[in-house]
Amino acid sequence: MSDIFHFVPGSAPLLISIPHLGSIVPDELRPSMTEVGLRSGDTDWHLDRLYAFAEKLGASFLWARYSRYVVDLNRPPNDESLYPGQAKTGLCPTHTFDGQPLYADGRDHIPDAERDARRAAYWDPYHAQLRDEIERLRAIHGKVLLWEAHSIASLIPRLFEGKLPDLNIGTSSGASCAPAMEAAVRRELEACDYTWAVNGRFKGGYITRHYGAPQRNVHAIQLEMCQSTYMEERHPYAWRDGEAARVTPVVERLVRAAFEQL
C-alpha cells in the first residue's frame, strides 16, 4: 500500500480516479504554509464516500492522499495552461482558488528544483499507477472506462462568472470517449433535476485529455460537480446527508450510462 495514493484493483473495466481527494500536507511544508493552506480547502472532499456505489460495479479505485496544494495531479507535468487566456491553477499552486496565499511569505511561484522534486515524489507515482491499471484492465477486457471524479465550490468569482452548473461533464470536446458514450451521459443529464453542462467551462483536465484514447478502447470522462450538491462548501466541509442522498443516484446513473456503452 502506497502512502502517496490509495489504490484498490477491481474486476470490471472501470477505473474511478479521484486525484484531488487528498488533504495531507507533508511535515516539511507545514511551517511555511498559512492556516488557509494547511486546511487544503480546495480538496474534492468526500468523493470516496459518494462514489462507493461503484464497488458493486467491480470498479478499480485510485485516489490521492496528499493535497493538490503540494502538487496538482490533474495538471500537465510541464505546467502548461489547460485553458489558455483564463486564470490558471498550476502544478504547484501558491494561492487558493479564490486568491488567498498558501505560504506565509506570500510567494507567487515555486522554484523549479522544488517543483521538480514534488513532481517526482507525488505526481509521477500516481500517474504510474494510473497507467498500469489502465493497461491491466485493457489487457483483460480489451476496453476501459476511466471516470475522473471531481468537485468544486459552486461560486469562485476569481475563476468563474456566476454560479457553476451543478454537474459538468468533460470529454475534451468529444475527443476522450466514444460519441455514443457521451450521448448516453447527456441523456441522463437531460432527465435529471440538476443544472448541467457538457464540455462547457470544464472540458476535462490533464488526465482526461491525456489518457482518453477511444481508438485504443480507453474512454475517459470527467465529472466536475458543485460541492453544494452534497456537502458544506465552507470549513469544516461537512457531508450533508440529505443533499448527498439525492445527488448520488444521479451520479451513479451517469457512470452506469457510460459504462454500459463499453
Q: Residue 82: what pLDDT?
A: 82
Percent of the chain with pLDDT over 90: 95
Q: How many secondary structure helices (H) and strands (E) does the chain include?
A: 7, 7
**From CA 71, how far away is CA 73, in angstroms rounded?**
6
Query: What are the cell numbers at 30?
Result: 507545514
Q: Is the pLDDT of residue 250 over 80?
A: yes
- Percent with pLDDT over 70 in the chain: 98
Q: Is the pLDDT of residue 84 over 80?
A: no
Look at residue 222 and give its three-state secondary structure.
strand
> CATH no. for residue 23?
3.40.630.40
- pLDDT greater than 60 at residue 147: yes
pLDDT higher than 70, residue 87 = no
Inform me whether the pLDDT recorded for 88 exceeds 70: no
Residue for grid cell 472540458: 203
Q: Which residues of 182-216 are buried (b: 16+ CB within 10 A; e: fewer)?
A: bebbbebbeebeeebbbbeebbbbbbbbbbbbbee
Amino acid identity, position 226:
C
Phi/psi at 117 (5° precision):
-70, -40
Check residue 143 and report its DSSP letter. Answer: -
Q: CA-to-CA distance for 253 and 244, rounded, in angstroms?
A: 14
- For residue 131, the SS3 value is helix
- Average pLDDT value for residue range 97-119: 96
Full domain range(s) for residue 253: 5-260
pLDDT at position 181 is 98
Taking the mean position of all CA atoms in its chain, how far away is CA 196? 17
Closest C-alpha among 180, 169, 239, 240 to residue 205:
169
Q: How confident is the model at residue 81 (pLDDT cuts 50, 70, 90)?
A: confident
| CA–CA gap between residue 128 and residue 225 (Å, rounded) | 26
pLDDT at 86: 72
C-alpha cell at 205: 483536465
Mean residue pLDDT across the chain: 96
Each residue's pLDDT tens digit, 163-192: 999 999 999 999 999 999 999 999 999 999
5-8 vs 60-64, strand pairing mode: antiparallel
Average pLDDT over residues 57-65: 98
Report the domain count for the chain: 1
3-class secondary-structure state, position 102: coil
How confident is the model over 189-233, as pLDDT tens digits? 999 999 999 999 999 999 999 999 999 999 999 999 999 999 999
The pTM (predicted TM-score) of the whole model is 0.96
Task: Say how far apart CA 134 and CA 173 lie, in whole Å.
Answer: 22
Q: Which three cell numbers stand for residue 51?
A: 462514489
